[in-house]
Amino acid sequence: MFSLDLIVMVVLLALLFDFVNGFHDTANAVASAVATKALPPGGAVIMAALLNFLGAVSGTAVAATIGQSIISPYLIDPPALIAALGGAIMWNLLTWYLGLPSSSSHSLIGGMTGGVLISCGPASINWPELSVIIGVLIISPFIAFLMGGGVMKFLLASLKNTAPTATNNNLRRLQILSSAMASFAHGSNDAQKSMGVITMALVSCGALSDFNVLLWVKIACAAAMAAGTALGGWRIIKTLGQQMFNIRPASGFAADLTAALTIYTASAAGFPVSTTQVVSSSLIGAGAAKRMRGVRWPTAINMIIAWIITIPAAGMIAVIIYLAIQIGL
């Protein structure tokens, strides 16, 4: 039986991860709307926070995948979860400080993999399930890129004979809707990851006999993410909204709509995806469909490099934290 202090630490770190996730990923849903002036920054963030909360309490399919698919909740111990969350949080904070839209999902998967490997060994990991999860993480941004480009080309063909000023004003109104959809989708996927970790901890210590996300866990995780979102991640908003390419209402609407549909589809199917990757890829796809040379590819390449190194980096940090915990215990 594990001490209550360790379980409380897991819960607090999981809520902190959600808070940092919301702070880190606010830009996902509102960057394009802010860039095109469809929404003022303050209003955009408040809207994102509210819809993040509603999306977070809309289901638990992703929580079940995180909490049961990588390793059995009956095998893992709280120190491993503490190390996993610590690795994910530290990597998220580092990439936030550098202004890189890294992936909170990759951070958590990397942290959990590192924590489980050092604590339970490779045989305890469900490698086929982990491979599927990582496969979806890899494939989803490519799908978003293609869909973003497709929606943008459709808009360009449909609106080529319309008055530019009136069209842009209408698209800005639609951007409010698409940003709201993206915020809801973000909450439906990202907040559930911490719900899965907390429920794992409760099962591992015997507080729950089977994997069942409790109401207080849903509300606590949703509130933590909403609070983080309300504070906003303006460093990353600058990267997505200003440094990728010159976003216009059409490309912003195409990217947000694509991201919302992609993320929520994954949430309904129980797959954790990187909302940062999906939104960024949607933006790049929409920008490339309009003008390939208009995309600032060095910024996009830097983001891809950050994504590639996130899983091993967060995993290594988790290993170091776990070893430090063992020395301390």
List, for residues 297-324, the tens digit of each pLDDT value: 666 676 677 778 889 999 999 999 999 9
Q: Quick check: 283 pLDDT over 70?
A: yes
Kindly state the average pLDDT of the residues 273-283. Answer: 85
- Percent residues over pLDDT 90 in the chain: 51
Q: Quick check: 88 pLDDT over 50?
A: yes
pLDDT reported for residue 244: 47
User: Which structural domain, as residue segments, surrounds residue 234?
Assistant: 4-328
pLDDT reported for residue 272: 93
Question: Worst-scoring range by mean pLDDT, 39-43, 91-95, 96-100?
Answer: 96-100
pLDDT reported for residue 241: 44
The model carries a pTM of 0.88
What is the residue-averaged pLDDT of the chain?
Answer: 86
Domain count, the chain: 1
Stated as kind and residue range, the H or E segment containing 324 is helix 297-328
Rounded CA-CA distance 26/34 in Å is 12
